[in-house]
Amino acid sequence: MLYDALIQPFIEFGFMRRALVACLALSISAGPIGVFLVLRRMSLMGDAMSHAILPGAAIGFLVFGLSMWAMSLGGLVVALVVALAAGAMSRVTPLKEDAALAGFFLISLALGVLLVSMKGSSVDLLHILFGTLLAVSNGALLLIAAASSLTVIALALVYRTLILECFDPGFLRAVGGRGGLAHATFLALVVLNMVAAMQALGTLMAIGLMMLPATSARMWTISIGRMVGLAVLLAMLSSIAGLIISYHANLPSGPAVILAAGFVYLLSLAIGSNGGLLRRYIRRPHLEH
Amino acid sequence: MGRGLVGNPIEAVLSRARDHHHHQHAAQAVRPAAPILELNDVTIAYDRHPVVHHISGAFAAGSLTALVGPNGAGKSTLLKTIAGLLPVTAGAIRFGIDRRAVAYLPQVVDVDRSFPLRVIDVVDFGHWRKVGALRRLDAQDRTASVAAIASVGLAGLENQPIGQLSVGQFQRVLFARLMVQEAAVILLDEPFNAIDQKTTADLMQVVRTWQDEGRTVIAALHDLEQVKREFPDALLMARELVAWGPTPQTLGDENLAQARALAASWSDPAAAICAR
């Protein structure tokens, strides 16, 4: 019975297994990336950056048709340029990084929609934005695996610098740390993960797998290391739950995965041990000191 | 502290300074001792307007100097420049030590206090010069961090999240981080601002310990009574140098009046190009 519900879909159908592998691999890198987005107060900037992928992917689509590699490469290049340009603008003009990025991503989004409509249909646009999790190709799986591995290694290298850069950038500068380099590396990793997730979850949904488990983890622990681990775990559990539910209820799988993560998020908000609502409203006797 | 790492340039400077210090006591030698930091006609300007104007002089190794002057006198600017965070517009700052052996505590530490870090994590960042972005902290480093936390009076709070600390406690944490940096020169910008009396007294004790260990401490302060009580040397500035030397003479009524008069003249907007 339980076997039928939980295991059998993955045994029986190759597309379910591929979707599962894609989601699990994405979870490993999206978890820690999300934690740093939360810590850097860049939660909404990930969303903005995901739009910047669109014109690049659209150019790839216009020139090479529905080729996963062309669209990924185009998206990667354009989004990297936008992210780094926004970062640079915030350093040389009085604009803050979020304002600079907002300007660039709005241009990108409009440009992307325009480019897609020149050749494709709105169905193609939907695929780019929301992905097709049950039709993940071998190439896309390889890209996801590579991006995920690269992310974990690169994050390990800039981990300490990133934390100090978020916490006390002045001190990092005074002791000669390479804060700017760590920040640029991190932005590049964010973009890489969104591009990798494009075919599976779509650029918009991919942000969900980054942000929801990470914000949920923040509600349970105050240790950054534990937050990273917990975010990965929650992302994986949401992926599995989402896929199984989408299979039995015949729902689109990408949104099901993100909604599962969303459910975990709402639950964490309610009962999280680190500032959850329940703790706030249930009075417990105070301690002696 | 003073772990005597062989081959560590900072330690070498410190032990030299320490020897010097003791020698000074024994022989009652007169100052100046060997300069560890020399200001040579230093001018620092923001957008061509000088905030620090033609200051020359030297800080002796192991000295404890208060940086005093009216608001806008350029104290913070001078400290930031010595810390290497601002460029010198004209003149030069000469270091008798490795420049990296300078530690700096800004007036406003721009940190997110809700950040998920514990006291020990923040203090451990003091080892950055040694371990950088990648290397592991060894047992010695960890011991040093715990000892520093104890010596600022926070023993037992190593694992406390920083979000739960009071303003005074957090300043103690920052002092512990400075301590771990093992710096030969320590720059403090208004370290006792908005800090309660008990914490101020405890942290002042820490500063005295630093001096005993041969470190050179330069602190921007506004409490003249505290400066007269605790700091043997003072540098009085009002964009330009007013006086620099033993505190009682430096902070004489005449000098203070001169500093105030200089401050009163700053409102003149039609600044000519400096001919000096």
| Tens digits of residue pLDDT in A59-88 | 888 888 777 788 888 888 988 888 888 877
Other Cβ atoms less than 10 A from the Cβ of B197: the count is 9
Test A175 with B129 for CB contact under 8 angstroms: yes
Count of residues making up chain A: 289
How would residue B271 be classed by pLDDT, with cut points 50, 70 and 90?
A: low
pLDDT of residue B82: 92
Query: Hey, is the C-beta of B125 within 8 angstroms of any chain A C-beta?
Result: yes
pLDDT tens, residue by residue, B90-123: 889 998 888 888 999 988 777 888 889 999 999 9
* Cβ-based contacts of A157 with chain B (< 8 Å): 133-134
Mean residue pLDDT of chain B comes to 84
Q: How far is A167 from chain B (nearest CA, A)?
A: 6
Q: How far is B40 from chain A (nearest CA, A)?
A: 22
Query: Hey, is the C-beta of B147 within 8 angstroms of any chain A C-beta?
Result: no
Test A157 with B133 for CB contact under 8 angstroms: yes
Test B133 with A175 for CB contact under 8 angstroms: no
Partner residue facing A227 (CB), from B85, B116, B177: B116
Percentage of chain A exceeding pLDDT 70: 97
pLDDT tens, residue by residue, B192-219: 988 899 999 999 999 999 999 999 999 9
Does the structure show a pLDDT above 50 at B28?
no
The more confidently predicted of residues A241 and A203 is: A241
CB within 8 A of B68, min separation 6: which ones?
B75, B220, B221, B222, B224, B227, B234, B235, B236, B237, B250, B251
pLDDT of residue B270: 56
**Which of A81, A83, A58 lies closest to A71 in space, CA to CA?**
A58
ipTM, two decimals, is 0.81
Q: Which of A161, A164, A167, A172 to mutate to test the interface with B (most CBs of B within 10 A)?
A: A167
Taking residues A191-219, what's their average pLDDT?
Answer: 89
Taking residues B181-191, what's their average pLDDT?
Answer: 92
How many Cβ contacts (< 8 angstroms) between chains A and B?
Answer: 60
Other Cβ atoms less than 10 A from the Cβ of B266: the count is 15
pLDDT of residue A236: 96
pTM of the full structure: 0.82
Percentage of chain A exceeding pLDDT 90: 37
**Which of B143, B209, B141 lies closest to B175 in space, CA to CA?**
B209
Tell me the pairing of strands B90-95 and B35-46.
antiparallel
Tell me the pairing of strands B216-220 and B185-189.
parallel
Residue of A nearest to B104 (CA): A174
Taking residues B22-26, what's their average pLDDT?
Answer: 42
Does the structure show a pLDDT above 50 at B30?
no
Q: The tokens 């029986």 sit on which residue? A: A12
